[in-house]
Amino acid sequence: MKILLIGASGTVGSAIEQELGQRHDIVRAGRSHSDAQVDINDPASIRALYRKLGKVDAVICAAGKVVFKALPEMTPEDFELGLRDKLMGQVNLVMLGQEALTEGGSFTLTSGILSEAPIVSGASAALVNGAIDAFVRGAAIELPRGLRINAVSPTVLVEALPAYGPFFRGFKPATGADVALAYARSVEGRQTGQTYRVGY
């Protein structure tokens, strides 16, 4: 398969590439240092990416930003970042990418554990992750031509503990390799409308 991987340079993206790259052709996309450039905040950038690549068999997004800040300090602009970037960036990848997918192709988005196990300073992430999972369920029953859509919802990664460990006391981390298996399950399986939870 020809798989478009957005966010390939990140910890999760690198693990996905290592797993799926053994069997498929991976096209790496991101803001920089990739085979193709894309800003998921910008629908025009997403359209240009799909035009450049032509047909693909699967799209994986392992990118998206949210603000981590104590709720009393959050501003509308802080919430807007997560809504615009991680949520609508991934929604627009689906909405603008349907014609780029081959028959029966798949989208795999990324949410996260905080929608079900919130932490202090994680309200924006909880909001966005829950919305992504809900979008996947809703979109799955309407996508045309046998297209599929799933989400992967990981816990905190072992590799991210140096930066995020203090926020996730008591959480059991998962390795990037373990998380990557869920993306492989989404891309290479046949299910749709699912959220694959990893580590919880």
The band of 11, judged by pLDDT with boundaries at 50, 70 and 90, is very high
Query: CA-to-CA distance for 119 and 18, rounded, in angstroms?
Result: 30
Nearest to 195 by CA among 113, 98, 125: 113
Whole-number pLDDT of residue 153? 98
Whole-number pLDDT of residue 129? 98
Secondary-structure class of domain 2-198 per CATH: alpha beta
Domain limits, the chain: 2-198
**Taking residues 45-64, what's their average pLDDT?**
97
Place of tokens 């501003």: 75
Whole-number pLDDT of residue 192? 98
Whole-number pLDDT of residue 88? 98
Query: CA-to-CA distance for 9 and 30, rounded, in angstroms?
Result: 8
Kindly report the number of other CB atoms within 10 A of residue 111's CB atom. 28
Q: What's the pLDDT tens digit per position in 86-136?
A: 999 999 999 999 999 999 999 999 999 999 999 999 999 999 999 999 999
Whole-number pLDDT of residue 34? 86
* pTM of the shown model: 0.96
Whole-number pLDDT of residue 135? 98
For the CA atoms of 169, 174, 176, 180, the dihedral, rounded to the nearest 10 degrees, stands at -140
> Does residue 158 contact residue 175 with C-beta atoms inside 8 Å?
yes
Helices 11-20 and 176-188, axial angle in degrees (round to 10): 50
> Does residue 37 contact residue 86 with C-beta atoms inside 8 Å?
no
The token duo for 195 is: 């959220």
Q: What's the pLDDT tens digit per position in 77-100?
A: 999 999 999 999 999 999 999 999
Query: CA-to-CA distance for 64 and 182, rounded, in angstroms?
Result: 18
